[in-house]
Structure 1
Amino acid sequence: MNRRRTPRSASAEDLLSTLQHLTARARQEVELHQARVELAQALQRNMLPATLPSFPGLDTAACYAPARNGLDIGGDWYDGFLLPDGSLALAIGDVQGHDVEAAAYMGQIRIAMRAIASTAVDPGEVMGRTNDLILSMGPSLFATCSFFRLDPVTRELESARAGHVASVWATADGGSGITADAGGLPLGIEARQHYPVTRRTLDADGAFVLLTDGVIEGPSLPINEGLELIRRLVSSHSGDPAADLAETVLKAAALTGHEDDAAVLVLRHGAVPTGPQVT
């Protein structure tokens, strides 16, 4: 006759052993995640410029805020550097994704654009050649980007845009606006793209602000409302130093309601001197 055995109750030792095993697994996963976070943050620190150039009457500053979820990193980036002819180059972009791969891809775009900009004068050509170069590397991601070239003497600002969000400007006399420049496809989608060039002159005292969508768009803030919010903000603070204005604009990212990373690049420009200068 078979007797049914009563299941043995788990002892305190069994429960403790199971808990220790689960705790050890959880600790390993946390340590692995933390290692990936630290790697992504190191990539971000090393691939964004430590300093930005400036000229008399022209100042630049930037701020970056990491994503508030996931790996606490993303593909938003900015750059500013001097060109061989003495012009100032500024760029800002956003790589698809929020992980180590996005951070690494961001670095590739930044390096490629710097190299190409040293030999190509036209911003549209810089953008097109950068697009073709990164496509030749077989990327699995794409990126939006805006590239600007400023002559510090004439204050002519030339720009090309690859699917990136608009910029915002304001002057001390009360003028302000949102750029409506023509553009092309994001980088890394299709070869041999044409990127129109927009030209404007920064001859008045004011600020020109480059953004990523993490500053202006999210569940709590549609992109048009976000741009209008930043326009008003920049108009109110157009006379602030570049670093202060960049921090002020970046704080607005908290209003978007999302957890994306965000970047702001500010070009603060004084009025062009007129008449004889006393030295």
Structure 2
Amino acid sequence: MIDTHTHLYSEQFDEDRDEAIKRAKEAGVEKFYLPAVDSETHEKMLELEAQYPNEIFAMMGLHPCSVQPETWEKELALVKKYLDKRPFCAIGEIGIDLYWDKSTLDIQVKAFEQQIDWAIEMDLPIVIHTRESFNETFEVLERKKHPKLRGIFHCFSGNLDQAQHAIDLGFVLGIGGVVTFKNGKIDQFLNEIPLDKIVLETDSPYLAPVPHRGKRNESAYTALVLGKLVDLYKKDYKEIETITNQNALNIFGMK
């Protein structure tokens, strides 16, 4: 399996990071993709990637919740500095979050658009964070339409129409613990989405799947997400694993 979205470098893993990675490997996870957040964690993320160069791959980007009036332009300049210095597997996680703070919408849009421009210029996929902001996110993506614009709608939690819109724009859906929640709702229509438009993720340490809901999530629980897809798609575990792995490798440009 491939966990396409895990914050393994976060402080929640400071006590047992290597053990958490070991547990994930034992559960069958072979690759881990780390989304960037902001300057407070970039170096920690890159150090972890350096420690596990064959299994862990870093993205670079500015998380929408870190787009703040006083610092966002400096933060973006730092992202660009990293992108110019070395290769990354994607630009992410980037996007729009209106759950915590609606007042920063205009600068969130500017930061999102700038990072999309860099992704197109560098021919990199983007990994999108969208929370209570599907309409605003789609507006930006429609404006920025380009043959090279592609990537993942991370932690997809929208409806069937929104899923189809994301796919029509050239994106796949990142499916994680939410698919196991009783009130998550995506389990009601997910099997209508072709498997070649889905990748697996945990978003650990957040959004742990049932039966661990409310506790710290970890990459080993990718197997629980995959198990839920077996139930929904009525397909063999290995088949879903193979298809979703290939989707992830195609997006991140890896063989």
- Shorter chain as denominator, the TM-score bin is 0.3 to 0.5
TM-score (norm 2): 0.33
TM-score (norm 1): 0.31
Structure 1 or 2: more helix by fraction: 2
Structure number with greater Rg is 1
Structure 1 or 2: more strand by fraction: 1
